[in-house]
Structure 1
Amino acid sequence: MLSLNFPGYDFRFKSSENKQQIFDIIRKKFVALQPEEWVRQHVIHYLSIDKKYPTSLINVEKTLSLNGLRKRYDIVVFNTDGSIHILVECKSPNITISQNVFDQIARYNLKMKAEYLMVTNGLDHFYCNMNYEEEKYSFLRQIPDFSR
């Protein structure tokens, strides 16, 4: 797999029926190693190892209903009160982070109301802090570390 713009992590791999799989520490199972999954697993490790978010607060690939349609978010990090701290959208490294990607996470966030947004293709990362009172957002250099 392509080297990504993240620190190096120790991943667990296995092959099953000639398909490479990677162990997801959140879902606690091996999943198919596709390019987007490679990015997702790096983000999970980045959040849990480097940013110190407890894995118990991280949720991966769950369905949400949006205008009657079923959509699936990539990663959510919850606050201890159950509200959403970070919403993450992962794309394959060959997908350019475009306005369409930002529009997608913005649509999801209309329902989810996260404090922070992260969009990444593993090579380029964008972080935003949401200000709902003033109906604006600001770009950040990085996502904040976990704090109790």
Structure 2
Amino acid sequence: MEKLNLPSYPFRIKNNEKHYLIFDEVRKKYIVLTPEEWVRQHYIHFLLKEKNYPISLVAVEKQFTINNLKKRTDILVFSPEGTPNIIVECKAPHIKITQDTFDQIARYNLKLNANYLIVTNGLEHYYCKLDPDNETYVFLKEIPSYKI
């Protein structure tokens, strides 16, 4: 897999004759290793190891409903109170991040009301903080670390 603009981590990877699989620490199972999953697993580890978010607050492919359509977040980080705090939208490294990507995560956030949004393809990362007073997003240089 491609080297990403994230730290390297010691992933558990195996081959099951058809596919390579990567172990997801959050879901506690092996997942087919696609380019998007490669980015997602790196970003999960980044949140856990570099930003110190507890694994108990992290959900992967959390399902929710918008206008009777089932959607899933790539990564959803909750606050200690159980409310959505960070939504992460992961794309494969070869996928260019466009306005459509931001529109997708913004639609998700109309339902989830998270404080922060992250869009990444593993090479480029965009961080936004919700400004509820002005109903806008403010772009940040990085996402804050977990604070108790």
Q: Could you state the TM-score of these two structures normalised by the residue count of structure 2?
A: 0.98
Structure 2: give runs of 5+ residues left out of the alignment. Answer: none
Question: Partners in 2 of 1:59 and 1:70 — Cα distance?
Answer: 16
Q: Which residue of the partner structure matches residue 119 of structure 2?
A: 119
**Structure 1 unmatched runs, 5+:** none
Is 1:81 paired with 2:81? yes
3-state SS of paired residue (1:81): coil
> Secondary structure, in 3 states, of the residue corresponding to 1:49?
helix
In structure 2, distance between residues paired with 1:24 and 1:59: 11
Q: CA RMSD in A?
A: 0.6
The list of structure 1 runs, each at least 4 consecutive aligned residues, that deviate by more than 4 angstroms after superposition, is none
Percent identity between the two aligned chains: 54
Which whole-Å CA distance do the structure 2 matches of 1:18 and 1:103 have between them?
35
For residues 135 and 103 of structure 1, the distance between their equivalents in structure 2, rounded to whole angstroms, comes to 14
Q: Which residue does 2:102 correspond to in 1?
A: 102
Give the CA deviation at 1:18.
2.9
Show the counterpart of 1:48.
48
Task: Please give the alpha-carbon distance, in whole angstroms, between the structure 1 residues aligned to 2:67 and 2:132.
Answer: 21
Tell me how far apart the structure 1 counterparts of residues 92 and 63 of structure 2 sit (CA, whole Å): 19
SS in 2 for 1:96: coil
Superposition deviation, residue 137 in structure 1: 1.3
Q: How many residues align?
A: 148
Deviations 1:74-114 (A, max 9, x none): 00000010111100000011110000000000000000000
